[in-house]
Amino acid sequence: METTKELFNEYLDGNSFNGELDEFEKYMMGVVKDSYEVMLQESPESYPEVYLGIVNDYTFNAIAFKYKNNYFIGLNIGLIRIVKNFYNYLFSRNDVFKEIDTSEEQNPDIDINLSELDNYIDTIGDLFNNYDFESVYPKSKERKNNAKHFAANAVSYLFFHEYGHIVHGHLDYSIKTNKNFVFFESNSKNEGNLISQCLEMDADSFAATKTISLIKDPEFWSGSALTTGFSSVFMFQLLSTKIDNLNELSNYSHPIPAIRQMIYLNMVYAFFYQFSEKSAEEIAFKVVDVVLKEHKIVFMDVLGLEKESLAIVNSVNEKVNQHFKIIMNTWNEIRDDLSKYAYGPIAEKKIWK
Ligand SMILES: [Zn+2]
């Protein structure tokens, strides 16, 4: 009888990662595994176990799949490295999160302008994978710890997103309806993908709620919403392709980052609304304020943007807003079928006008 580790490697044709992780990477994976254990203990007993492995692939991607009746989540080694390099770079800058002591930091001199390239995955992947980041990391202890904390949170968010695909029945539903045995997270372009975008939206909702509520003390929930908001917004950007034509919003496997951000905010709002309407508003506004301010500095600089691209702009466009509602309403069409495959409760139907 094969172990799940062997099955993971078999499914990947021997391409599971066998190398050594450094201390930072081990910390990230440790946080993901601990969060998973805690989540399982607190979830309905029906929630399935998954095997978490690392794929020996240097692109920025994650997968969820089912093989010989076992569930697997694979994170590419490229993704782990890129997230690590990215947060080290971010906290080594003295113009981001200025309230955390920046006296020891000097802005790293990375002379790359990526604005000419077509694809965010290639560009950011190339930059944070191939550029020598060995010496690019924050110098102060506090900023070092923040880089680790945010990086681990970003990867946990993505892990819970994958787990959402499994536990909300997306994977089994897709296997039954179109023989799709695997979910990929890098955005791909093809025709008419509303159902796929809707499943991604639902997986994001699951990840957002799980990562916020993993913190036990409600006093820290608002900070946790901020961290997760910050980490997830960067993940959305890193996973996204550049979309310049607003008439093509339906033609991608994943919603554009601006819409994923809106979904995230909706989840934050709904989460805190259970306790009070006022605190829900306060926290949602704070997340928008901090996350967008800080992440704009970095992305506009790294991507060499002179003005905000459509992928960065947040919900100010009527077409983007309309598309957000179309995705939310697609849920009503697939919700009942999905519930047959889900391992726990899923969202009820709701009409978005
Ligand atoms: Zn997904």
User: What is the radius of gyration, based on Cα positions, of the chain?
Assistant: 19
Residue 237 burial by Cβ neighbours in a 10 Å radius (0-12, 13-18, 19+): buried
Q: How far apart are CA 243 and CA 249, in angstroms?
A: 8
DSSP 192: -
- Measured in Å, residue 144 CA sits from the centre of ligand 1 at 29
Would you say 226 and 290 are in contact if contact means Cβ atoms under 8 Å apart? yes
Amino acid identity, position 300:
M
The pLDDT assigned to 121 comes to 45
- Pairing mode, if any, of strands 70-76 and 182-184? unpaired
232: CA distance to ligand 1 center in Å?
Answer: 13
**What pLDDT tens digit does each residue of the chain (353 aa) get?**
889 999 999 999 999 999 999 999 999 999 999 999 999 998 999 999 999 999 999 888 899 999 999 999 999 998 998 889 888 888 888 888 888 888 888 777 665 554 544 444 455 656 666 666 777 889 999 999 999 998 999 899 999 999 999 999 999 999 998 877 888 887 777 766 899 999 999 999 999 888 888 777 788 888 888 888 877 877 777 776 666 677 888 888 888 877 888 888 888 888 888 888 888 888 888 887 777 777 666 666 665 555 554 444 544 578 888 898 999 999 999 999 999 999 999 999 999 88
pLDDT reported for residue 305 = 53
As residues whose CB is below 5 A from the ion ligand 1, the structure lists 200, 203
pLDDT number for residue 105: 83
Backbone conformation region of residue 324, classed left if phi is above 0, alpha if psi is from -120 to 50, else beta = alpha
- SS3 category, 208: helix
* pLDDT (0 to 100) of residue 158: 93
Residue with tokens 């003005």: 307
How is residue 241 annotated by DSSP? P
- Please give the distance, rounded to the nearest whole angstrom, from the Cα atom of residue 338 to the centre of ligand 1: 15
Give, for 64, the enclosing helix (H) or strand (E). Answer: strand 62-67
- Where exactly are the structural domains of the chain? 4-339
CA distance 162 to 32: 12
CA 272 to centroid of ligand 1, rounded, Å: 24
Residues 6 or more apart whose Cβ sits within 8 Å of residue 66:
72, 166, 171, 172, 175, 181
Query: Which tokens belong to 212?
Result: 């916020």
Per the listing, tokens 């077409």 go with 319
